Amino acid sequence: MKNQDFLKWFSGFLDGEGCFYIAFQTAKDLRVGCYATINLTVEDKSLLLEIQRIFGSGGVRKTKNATSKWKEQWAWQISNLSDCLKLSKILLKYPLRSRKLKDFNLWLRALLIIQTKRKRDNWGKWLDKEILALARIRDKMNTKGKPNSRAYKNYAYIKNMLKNRTIQEL
């Protein structure tokens, strides 16, 4: 498969099977990261390994054990800023076509905020306005037309966390 053929196929496959998301972790410090992932059953693990090999990065790991109802699940995932920016360039050249395009555009906005922060201050603290912008973006993602009401994804929750925690990038 030629590289261009792979990239066209990959864009379509990611459009159907992929997910873009922003995650906040609240352990000692508030942390934020952007992720792109593809989840498949164990039968397609070799496809995930092939994507990892051709894309040149990302990790493949087991995400769920098999149960009586579900097959074992595996995922290819990227979270490194440079890998996410590489993926965004591919998807701008070979655009998504489903409703996932909305999530990609929001995810891209978040990547640009993170990239701007890195240029400003690689290991320093996040500005409150940056965290709040990322929380707003994240709350608009993966909603399928409904408001995102999960407590840990709540904009007000992140705003409250800013009062009490230091902030670090993943």
| DSSP secondary structure letters along 42-104 | GGGHHHHHHHHHHHT--EEEEEE---SSS--EEEEEE--HHHHHHHHHHHHHS---STHHHHH
**Residue 167: both structure tokens together:** 């902030």
What pLDDT, on the 0 to 100 scale, is given for residue 169? 44
* Residue 111, domain CATH: 3.10.28.10
Number of domains, the chain: 1
Per-residue pLDDT, 170: 39
- The model's pLDDT over 59-79, given as tens digits with 9 standing for 90+, comes to 999 998 888 888 899 999 999
Residue 27: pLDDT band by 50, 70, 90 thresholds? low
What mean pLDDT comes out for the span 87-91? 95
Query: 117, 119, 168, 159: which is closest to 138 by C-alpha?
Result: 159
- Domain span at residue 16 reads 3-169
User: Per-residue pLDDT averaged across 147-170, rounded?
Assistant: 55
Per-residue pLDDT tens over the stretch 127-150: 888 888 998 898 888 766 555 545
